[in-house]
Amino acid sequence: MMLKNLSKYSGLITLIGFAVLVVFIFISSKKINNQNIKLETINKELKEKQDAMNQLEEKEENLVQGITDLYRMSLNSFGWPIKEVDSISLDDSKVQEAVKANDQIRKFILEDNFQINSLTKLQYYPKERDMKKVSFAFKDLGFKLIEKPSNDALLDKKSNAIWYGDNVSIEEVKLVAYILIRSGVDLAFILNSGFLDDHKIMVGTVYANHPIISNAPNIKVDSILGADKFKNVPKLSPYPKAQN
């Protein structure tokens, strides 16, 4: 009798079991589907964040490139040759010195309202490398410029020395030095010389083997800024080796 009852309900039990299995599969499928949707959402969000980061990095690179290009344009306008500007790094010490020098020139003009003495004459030997831009800077700031031709041996060399007479103000000498440093010059020395007219400044090029610059470190903006005078060497002539 008991076996008959079990046999009677076995089909119902099988049907219920199948239904439970279907429900379980449906629920599991729905959970898996929900998880897939969540994964897709997470992946989409991650992709959007990655795209945003990539765009930010691209903007940052463009900004850095823009700043670099601006620096290069400025350096070229100061007298740096294109071939030097194109390979320069913003971290280069000479670039930093040029920026410092330009800041000091701006301070002379904007804050101190500095005026060049009308008696001061500036003798300069233009170089091929600066394409007259240094000469223009001297004139633009009010110097009475006397340009002399450089000899062929020194035409492609940088100016590296300043001499000045007794009645030239220290501020005028500093301004000349800043303009040269801004143009990428390695300034070797600044001397007060008795060989020059009292109201004259002379910018020239000294040969590397000249005794006055042997092993001499380049003059930096900070050392010029704090100076109230420069070396007085009355017996050292800027002629003939240093004249151009």
Lowest mean pLDDT among 35-44, 150-159, 215-224: 150-159
Taking only the tens place, the pLDDT of each residue in 51-61 is: 777 777 777 67
Confidence of residue 243 (pLDDT cuts 50, 70, 90): very low
Q: What is the count of structural domains for the chain?
A: 2
Residue type, 181: I
The CB density around residue 219, as the number of other CB atoms within 10 Å, is: 23
Q: Give 158-183 as a DSSP string.
A: PP-EEEE-TTS-HHHHHHHHHHHHHT
Share of the chain above pLDDT 90, in %: 22
In sequence order, what are the residues at sequence separation of 6 or more whose Cβ sits closer than 8 angstroms to the Cβ of residue 176? Answer: 122, 138, 143, 162, 201, 203
* Per-residue model confidence (pLDDT) at position 44: 76
Cα separation, 203 vs 236, whole angstroms: 15
96 vs 206 pLDDT, higher one: 96
- 173 shares a domain with 141: yes
- 64 shares a domain with 150: no
| pLDDT for residue 70 is more than 90 | no
| pLDDT for residue 157 is more than 80 | no
| pLDDT for residue 143 is more than 90 | yes
87 vs 64 pLDDT, higher one: 87
| pLDDT for residue 6 is more than 80 | no
Average pLDDT of the chain? Answer: 78
* Per-residue model confidence (pLDDT) at position 198: 85
The pairing of strands 200-204 and 161-164 is antiparallel
Domain residues for 58?
Answer: 1-78
For 151-170, b/e burial (b = at least 16 CB within 10 A) is eeebeebbbbbbbbbeebee
In sequence order, what are the residues at sequence separation of 6 or more whose Cβ sits closer than 8 angstroms to the Cβ of residue 197? Answer: 121, 165
For residue 157, tell me if it sits in a domain: yes
Confidence of residue 13 (pLDDT cuts 50, 70, 90): low
pTM: 0.72
Residue type, 11: G
Structural domain ending residue among the three candidates 32, 53, 78: 78
Lowest mean pLDDT among 4-8, 92-96, 102-106, 186-190: 4-8
For residue 86, tell me if it sits in a domain: no
- 171 shares a domain with 60: no
- 114 shares a domain with 32: no
| pLDDT for residue 189 is more than 90 | no
For residue 25, tell me if it sits in a domain: yes
32 vs 6 pLDDT, higher one: 32
Burial of 175 (0-12, 13-18, 19+ CB in 10 A): buried
For residue 70, tell me if it sits in a domain: yes
- 164 shares a domain with 43: no
For the residues 121-150, what does the mean pLDDT come to?
88
- 114 shares a domain with 48: no
For residue 238, tell me if it sits in a domain: no
Cα separation, 3 vs 24, whole angstroms: 30
Most confident of 83-92, 142-151, 223-232: 142-151
